[in-house]
Amino acid sequence: MPEAPTMIAGRYRLGEAIGSGGMGRVWLAHDERLDRDVAIKEIVLPPGSEEDAAVARRRTLREARAAARLNHPGVVGVYDVFEADGKPWIVMEHVPSRSLKEIVQEDGPLDDRQAAVIGLEILEALKAAHKAGVQHRDVKPANVLIADDGRVVLTDFGIATIEGDGLVTSSGQQLHASLDYMAPERAQEGEATEAADLWSLGATLYDAVEGRAPFHRSSAVGTLTAIAADPPDPMERAGALAPVIDGLLKKNPGERLSSAEAGRLLQAAAEGKPRVARASAVPVAPPRKNHDPSTVRPGPARPLIIGAAAVAVLLVVALVAFVAMRPDGTTQTPDDTAAAPGPAASAGAPSAVPSDASASPTAEPSPAGAATPSPTAPAAGGGDDDGGGGPGQGAARPQLPAGWRDYTDPTGFKVYVPNGWAQSQEGTMVYFRSANGRVLGIDQTDQPRPDPVADWSAQRDTRRAGGEFPGYREVKIAEVDYFRKAADWEWSYDTNFGRVHVNNRGVVTSPNQAYGIYWQTMESDWAAANKDLQLIFDSFVPRS
């Protein structure tokens, strides 16, 4: 295949080829006009007549129209479509990721809970597509991307159909879809329906937990025969996913689970009793009790979750549950949730200590405080009003390094943050998440606590007594010289996705202002990330 030009359409500079299949290949490119990375699908027209080429061009436009109609965090966005060098090109959102197929092949099958969480995200993307009148027609592990930032993204609507489009894919073209994941009615009659997409979801989930397709045979004819007449191969690892997989792989579309029924079963499987699993490279965001599509796409500009970065998202979603120690010494309990004060109203400095992923799979941040206890960064208040001393107080900030930006929060504090880290707001906490699993979270309160070391120690004991932080290894709980008064709680522990290392600093900057500065990396990345953490500490400026 000849090499593509370096610059196309006068604005897209092509880089390396990052994928191929279907009717073309995908390039990593840079949009020189908007200064952003994109993925560009080059459509390689089949050899043959002009009529064949015209069909391919129409199919390309159909793909672009299908995907462009969808505005959902679980669907790869389409930015542009054009012709260059006699071929159609589609400009898409660049999602650094691994496919579910690659993850299963490289890391082994997922456990049922991990697969259920991914299944929920795929289902939400399909529901959005179906609502827009689009059937995907080729849902399979290779088309499910686990992004480096934790998103689960459905891609390649290349053979999607649009209701009312008037262009019907021929029986020859329909075999561009993968036979292993094709619903029996599609294989037999070429019928593209929402129910057929749900079948493909069931086959994809089967593959995710079993490591193989449910009807795969040594030949295409054998596979098609099995899809039409045989039950799926027996499941050995599906666990809580077995009912939803069985329900989605019903031969008769009328007997197949609806999307609502599948969603309930997937949610139940995702919220099942957690277990400590082998370290996995698959980062998966925890299930959301109320799936609000508008909240799904925070992701850093890139790494699902999966690989080291996925860990971050899973844990960060459970970051800010607070044990709100009130000034009167009482402790907020789960029953106080309805009237729970936010961190800024609590008696403690803000905290971003995450609940353990396996111990609290459904925890989510709450602007009004948490329904489940979670540590609050301890902070101490001094006696005088001069703002105290320590690094950062009145000292010159370090020079802003290349590749970083000077972030100013709407509340007034400032801190250096690496370029490209995805920013999100969860309650009163602002998060910055990298593509390789590093997480920075900053919260604040106007009611500092009296003894940060004692408070950290008490919270450690409480959390550990509750079964959190398996494999807990404490590095320190110690006072540090920083502003008026501060203390660090540093520790590491095991999660379903690998071992993580955390430092949570509670810092008092004035008698009525304290901050929590949370930092998390994978254990293997901790040492390399230390210089970045120090720069963050040195550059932090509280509100004046």
Domain coordinates of the chain in residue numbers? 7-93, 97-295, 308-539
Span of 350-354, 467-471, 513-517, 531-535 with lowest mean pLDDT = 350-354
Which segment of 59-73, 121-135, 175-189, 242-256 scores lowest on mean pLDDT? 59-73
pLDDT tops 90 at residue 168: no
Average pLDDT, integer, range 282-299: 32
Find the mean pLDDT for residues 94-105: 91
Domain range 308-539, its CATH number among 3.40.50.920, 3.40.718.10, 3.40.1000.10, 3.40.50.11060: 3.40.1000.10
Cα distance between residue 453 and residue 463, in whole Å: 15
Identify the band that residue 137 occupies on the pLDDT scale cut at 50, 70 and 90.
confident
- pLDDT score recorded for residue 540: 97
**Residue 177 in tokens:** 């879809």
Whether 350 shows a pLDDT value over 60: the answer reads no
Q: Give per-residue pLDDT as tens, 222-243.
A: 888 889 888 999 999 999 999 9
Residue 532: active-site member: no
308: pLDDT strictly greater than 70? no
- Both tokens of 166, joined, read 């008037």
Q: Which of 29, 36, 144 is nearest to 97 (CA)?
A: 144
Q: Rounded mean pLDDT of 331-336?
A: 30
Report the predicted TM-score, pTM, of the whole model to 2 decimal places: 0.49
Where is average pLDDT lowest: 66-70, 325-329, 392-396? 325-329
**Domain 7-93 architecture:** 2-Layer Sandwich (3.30)
CATH homologous superfamily of 97-295 equals Transferase(Phosphotransferase) domain 1 (1.10.510.10)
Q: Is residue 175's pLDDT more than 80?
A: no
In the DSSP assignment, the letter for residue 274 is P
Identify the pLDDT of residue 465. Answer: 82
Torsion over CA of 155, 158, 160 and 165, rounded to 10 degrees? 130
Q: What is the pLDDT of residues 44-92, one digit of tens each?
A: 766 666 776 777 677 767 767 766 777 788 888 888 888 887 788 888 8
Helix (H, G, I), strand (E, B) or coil at 423: strand
- Tell how strand 36-43 and strand 87-93 pair up: antiparallel
DSSP 8-state class, residue 231:
P
Report percent pLDDT > 90 for the chain.
37
Number of residues in the chain? 544
Q: Say if residue 384's pLDDT is above 50.
A: no
Assess contact for 319 and 353: CB atoms under 8 A: yes
Quick one: what percent of the chain has pLDDT higher than 70? 68
What DSSP string runs through 172-230? Answer: HHHTTS-GGG--HHHHHH----HHHHHHHHHHHHHHHHHSS-TT--SSHHHHHHHHHHS
Read off the pLDDT of residues 447-461 as tens digits, 9 standing for 90 and up: 888 788 888 888 888
Query: Would you say 533 and 490 are in contact if contact means Cβ atoms under 8 Å apart?
Result: no
| Res 490: pLDDT | 96
Torsion sign across C-alpha atoms 360, 361, 362, 365? positive
What's residue 141's pLDDT? 95
d(C-alpha 463, C-alpha 468), whole Å: 6
Q: Tell me, what's the pLDDT at 21? A: 62
Pairing of strands 12-21, 7-8: antiparallel
Instruction: Calculate the average pLDDT of the chain.
Output: 73
Neighbours of 505 (CB within 10 A): 27
Task: Report which listed range, 10-19, 257-266, 272-281, 345-354, is most confident.
Answer: 257-266
User: Tokens 């008064």 identify what position?
Assistant: 485
Looking at the predicted structure, is the pLDDT value of residue 365 above 50?
no
Summarised one tens digit per residue, pLDDT across range 480-527 is 999 999 999 999 988 656 788 999 998 999 988 999 999 999 999 999
Q: Which helix (H) or strand (E) holds 515?
A: strand 513-522
Instruction: Give the mean pLDDT of 135-149.
Output: 88
Average pLDDT over residues 461-474: 85
Catalytically annotated residue among 31, 111, 112, 138? 138
Q: Does 41 appear as a known binding residue? A: yes
Mean pLDDT for the stretch of residues 325-337: 30
| Structural tokens at position 240 | 């809580």
Q: State how beta strands 87-93 and 78-84 pair.
A: antiparallel
| Residues in CB range of 283: below 8 A, 6 or more apart | 146, 150, 303, 304, 305, 306, 307, 308, 309, 310, 311, 312, 313, 314, 437, 497
Q: What pLDDT is attached to residue 498?
A: 74
